[in-house]
Structure 1
Amino acid sequence: MSDTERTQTQLVLRRFFRHRAAVTSLILLVMVTLFAFAGPLLWQYSYTDITDDLSLPPSPGHPFGTDLIGHDTFAQVMRGTQQSIKIALAIALIGTVFGTLWGAIAGLYRGKLDFLMMRLVDIVLTLPLIAVAAAVAAQGVGQSQWWAIAVVLGALTWPYVSRVVRSVVLSLREQEFIEAARALGAGNVRIILRHLLPNALGAIIVSATLAIATGILGEAALSFLGVGVQAPDTSLGLLVSINKDAVNTRPWLFYFPGLFIIAIALTINFIGDGLRDAFDPKQTRVRR
């Protein structure tokens, strides 16, 4: 089958799977996700269990060692990875949905509404993300829930998505199929939902992917500062934070959660690169 006979989805998937780094990263991310969500069901220890093995280095019984209290670090990293992924996905969902609608409306209507909406975006973009998020999250220290962290960070990351979507919509709104939809009586809401957003899907997916990476690092930063996920629950950032003083004496407590943060962020960034190349508008597309 030639490229001109392939559907748009087939072309995108074909380009993506040609990107070796993206495919490798996708496999690794799936493995990390299974480790986080299926691992606790199979592992003998819970992240809250206290064993008689104190400050043990990595061993067959405790692959990531134990801490001063006797917590199994392997179980804690599984729980921390699970919470960090949940927070990052929620951040990406909140930021992408709101940012996409904001950017699409601004790009379609233009004029004064576009000017006012994008000036608000500029204001939010000037705010230091971690500083503002930490200040807001600090108001609820002691009762911080993972979803609350996600809402705070999601409310600060949507402008990045809105700018990308607006730029795509500005080019799409001048296309003939939009004029044809208007001529057939389609309203602005229908044009946005049925015509603009589906054609901007590539940019939206790439933005959402990068928002997940931002969410992982943002959550880690907040938890490291002590205003993110709170004990007795845990996250990768919190594990790094509470074990930062043990980096020289019990390095396994610090490096294992740190490596998972780096691994997740890097794999998602590579996947985002692969998706960006796959959705590249300069590539040959199927005419419908």
Structure 2
Amino acid sequence: MDELDQSTLGTHEGARYWFNRRDNPGAVMSGVLWILTLYSDVVILYVGITGGWSIINAPFYFLVSFMALISQLKTMFTNPGAVPRHAQPLIRASESGIPETICGRCDAYKPPRSHHCRICNRCIVRMDHHCPWMNNCIGANNQKHFILFLLYTIIECVYSLSLILYNFTHGVTYANSTASAMVIALLVIALATLLFVSTMMYNQIYAIVTGIGTIDRMRKRGPKGNFAPVPWVDVFGVDPWPMYLLPTDVKYRDFHRVMGYKVATWEIAPTPVPPIPDEAKPASGPNVV
């Protein structure tokens, strides 16, 4: 269908706000992520109040937790780099001998290192993978936000595990059985999360250093392909480095170079008006009756 769907939420080209409505399990997993994060906040606060550790730990932990959740939302609601329908290859790419690829599903130009996501139903620039926990693809435009989510989640896990380990090594007991059970559950959640999230962080660092994303590694596309390290500014933008720690929109110095395409535009030239012969022109002047 040529006309774009103009509904408000979606991953199609006409959507006003990016949101994946096609992956119901992804929406559930995103909800589970929030529940686990908020549960850890409750444990830190409850044990701090009941005397298991100092309540002064709570403000810092809440701040890190807040940054993790905001980064998760930013990852979920940011267009990861969907290629528009009328994208065209860059002249510099053509001159460099980079082959032009047409996506068999989109029937449109697919820039280098782009992949078609069957869930989002779009080609995504520098797509790493589709993450159900984010309910979105991880691509050029939201990789920064995803890395920040991983970073803040790792800090959460390490901090909570440090509190638990300190109490264990110093023989600190908890106020009641409820606090003990909550801490044991937090221990299991933090260990499992730290292992999983650290693996994901390694994958992201590897993708930046080598230019080979998760999908390419799974398809066993090695360094012989069209791969190169991803410049730091292509991930975090050109903002001052303190902004790297905030899930703000990424600003590129050269948007078209990062995306690998330009958008075709057409201008309708005015229709030329043929000159009127002199004999066909109406007479004018004071003697005309």
* Superposition TM-score, scaled by structure 2 size: 0.31
The structure carrying a bigger strand percent of its residues is: 2
* Superposition TM-score, scaled by structure 1 size: 0.31
Bigger relative contact order, structure 1 or 2, given CA contacts below 8 A and separation 6+? 1
State which structure, 1 or 2, has the greater radius of gyration over its C-alpha atoms.
Answer: 2
The structure carrying a bigger helix percent of its residues is: 1
